[in-house]
Every structure is written in C-alpha cells, then in structure tokens.
Amino acid sequence: MVSISDVAHEAHVSKMTVSRVINHPEQVSAEIRTDVQRVISQLGYVQNRAGRALANNRHYNIAFILLDDVNEIEPYYAHLLMHLTDSLRNEGYTLEMRHDRNFDLTNVDGFLVCGARHSDFDVLNNLPIPVVIYGTEAGITSVDIDNKAGTYLATQLLINRQYQHLLFLGMAIDEPFETNREAGYRQAMQEAGREPEIHHLPNNEQIALQFLQNNQLSANTGIIAATDRLGLGALRASRHQGLAVPDEVGIVGFDGIYIHQLAEQSLTTVQQPLKEIAEKMVQLLLAELAGEIVTSEYIVPELIHGETTMSKN
C-alpha cells in the first residue's frame, strides 16, 4: 500500500507538504501542488479516511433522510439513493440512510433530504450543518425538477395531438410541487384559449380509476396526470369504458421512474432525471461544506413518449 511517505519521497517534499496539498491546498504554491498531485495520481495514493477526517474536522459521512411515506410513492427514492451514493463515493464520502425526523447530528457533515413537507421546514432551516433538499422551499438550498415546465410540456403535447377535452388529475395535497404541476397545465390551457378542468385526488391508482368510472370519460379526451399512479388509473378507467388509448383518450403521467411501465400500455410521462438531480444535490452540499454561497437549482424534465399518446401527425 502506498503511504504518504512514498508520495513525499517521490515528489521531493516533506510529508507535511503532502498533507497540506491534500487537506489545505490553499497553503501551498500552485507549482508544488501540481507536482504533488501528479505523484499522488501516479502512485495511486489514497489517504487514510480517519486521518483525513481528523485533519479537516469532518466525518466524511452524509445522511440521506427519506421523509416520504414509501407506501404512497413511486420507488424513485431507490434510484435517487443509488445515484447519491455513487456521487458521494466519488468525493470520498459515505452515505447513511435514515427515515425519521430525528435529525441527529452525530457523526454527519450534512443532510440530503427527500420528501420534506411544510412541517419540516422550520427544523431544516435551523440545523447547524448544511442541508440540501430534493424539492422546493425558500430559504433552504434545494434541487428540484421544474414541475411547471413538465406539465406545460405534457399539456402542449396533448393539444398538439388534437385531443379536444383536456383535464388535469392533481394530488389532494397542499405542497409546492403539486401547485407547480397544476400551474403548468393552467398556463398551457390559457395560451391555447381553453377552459381548465382540474380534479384533486389522493395519489392512488384505484381511486383515480373509480373517480373516472363514475364521471364517464368521453372520446377525444386528453388527461394530464400529476403522477404516474394517477395516470395508470386513467388508463385503466379508459379501457374499462371501452375507449381506445391513445386513439380516443390520450394520457400523460409524471415521474417516469418505474410505475409508468406496469400497465398493458406504457405511459407517456414526464421523467425526473434522477442522476442529474443527485449529482447536483451532492455538488451543492459539498460547496456549502467548503463555505461557498450556493443557490437552489431547477432541472427541466424530459417527456418520455410511451403508448398512451398518439404519434406525431
């Protein structure tokens, strides 16, 4: 195993200089820093984790806190967790997973949070270590998809495919991401000179199916669903009523991680780019740990064309 002494010998500097290049590069000239980093790369030196933590007064451990009810969401968190782990490992950090609201500060340098709600924001705002959330909240560093842009794209797609009656199935919750998804639909409808039709439901496929069964869908209808679960309910309600999808009913969901693939016809959906989101969350958290001033970022999602919308005319 390559040691710090090996690096110092090969680079013709002291062990203290090598340590400074690794832990406090601002204290070393650019020329020496370049030489030492070149030798580190050549020899494949990996610093002892405990020593690096002691030198930097850090634990090199980040806690990922999942606050969503896993019984009510798509398993996107598993994909997000995987990408977060990879991104942090590349930076020399480990990731610890939690699923409660304890926010214990022991042995962690920062928090990455998914599923935070209004009731969590006061606590998150007052934590003494950096926090980055997947979502949207003023005052807390966040990374989120542009939910409004996503449903705007979905609505425009159905308008362009000549569906005449367009309705929005939203979630019955008061959270920013739901509000923004509804806003994208409203904007596209306003620009097209159409009257919006909005229904708020629990994020449950069976409830969506029953609701649409009770309200009898008509031909030439387009449905923009705030989640893929609601989109699947719309798909099955259409099929139960004998309406052909996508010829008579077009459906676009939102999430694009897993559930959109479960039905007989794959959903057209607005896909959340979780790898990009994870990398950006890690980037912002580590920048905050380094004392940098950061701003929240929004990522435009992508429409994934499935079998529930007509192909381009």
Task: Return the closest-CA partner of residue 139 out of 295, 299, 303.
Answer: 295
How far from chain centre, in Å, is Cα 247? 33
Whether residue 65 contacts residue 113, with contact meaning beta carbons closer than 8 Å, is answered with yes
Per-residue pLDDT, 182 = 97
Sign of the dihedral through C-alpha 75, 87, 280, 252: negative
Relative orientation angle of helices 4-11 and 15-23, to the nearest 10 degrees: 110
Q: How far apart are CA 254 and CA 237, in angstroms?
A: 18
Q: How far apart are CA 295 and CA 37, in angstroms?
A: 30
Element (H or E) spanning 255, and its range? Answer: strand 249-255
Per-residue pLDDT, 74 = 57
Residue ranges and CATH numbers for the domains of the chain are: 4-56 (1.10.260.40), 61-145+274-300 (3.40.50.2300), 147-272 (3.40.50.2300)
Kindly list the averaged pLDDT for each block of 10 residues, start to end, along the chain of length 313: 81 83 78 87 69 59 83 69 91 87 87 86 89 86 94 97 96 90 97 97 94 92 95 95 96 85 86 92 92 91 93 71
pTM metric for this prediction: 0.74
Task: Return the closest-CA partner of residue 244 out of 276, 221, 213.
Answer: 221
Per-residue pLDDT, 79 = 83
